């Protein structure tokens, strides 16, 4: 079964950083982009940013710019998210998602999430 497998739960203190990994099936990076989405407890889904794993180009939501770093290792088909200067409000479930380009290509980044990782709980406390 095709799946994205994420690293385990993390506990961090405010001001520190966290790194989450997402291992994809081989060949995923040839066709799909990877994005990161988070969900605070009892809240909705929030797109954080994404990466083109083949070229390493990234994009992110304005609110995370400066704190969010994404990377991808093509040799292991693993994507990484690193969030720095953590605040208590960053406590959330973090998902990696595969972006399917779909049948209508508006530009290089257009598409929709068609596969989700199991989520990684990041808890930030003081």
The correct pick among 50, 77, 79, 81 for binding other proteins (CB under 8 A) is 50
Q: What would the DSSP string read from start to end of 39-79?
A: E-TT--EEEEEEEETTTTEEEE-GGGTTTEEEEEETTTTEE
Minimum distance from CB of 14 to other proteins (Å)? 26
- Give the residue from 51, 82, 88 showing the smallest Cα distance to 68: 82
Computed over its alpha carbons, how large is the radius of gyration of the chain? 14
Task: Check residue 44 for interaction with other proteins (CB under 8 A).
Answer: yes
Tell me the site size for other proteins, rule CB under 8 A.
29
Give least dist CB 47 to other proteins, A.
Answer: 5
Does position 102 bind other proteins by CB under 8 A? yes
- From the centroid of its chain, how far is CA 56? 13
Exactly one of 37, 79, 122, 124 binds other proteins (CB under 8 A); that residue is: 37
Cα–Cα dist 11/25, whole Å: 27
Residues lying near other proteins in the complex (CB under 8 A) are found at: 35, 37, 44-47, 50, 59, 61-62, 95, 100, 102-104, 106-119
């Amino acid at each position: 079964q095709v799946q994205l497998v994420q690293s385990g739960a993390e506990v961090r203190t405010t001001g520190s950083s966290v790194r989450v990994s997402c291992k994809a099936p081989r060949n995923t990076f040839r066709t799909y982009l990877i994005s990161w989405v988070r969900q605070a407890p009892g809240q909705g889904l929030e797109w954080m940013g994404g990466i083109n794993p083949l070229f390493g180009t990234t994009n992110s939501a304005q609110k995370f710019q400066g704190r969010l770093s994404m990377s991808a290792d093509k040799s292991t088909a693993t994507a990484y998210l690193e969030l720095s200067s953590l605040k208590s409000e960053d406590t959330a479930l973090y998902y990696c998602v595969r972006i399917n380009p779909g049948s209508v290509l508006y530009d290089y980044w257009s598409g929709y999430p068609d596969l989700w990782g199991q989520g990684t709980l990041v808890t930030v406390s003081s």
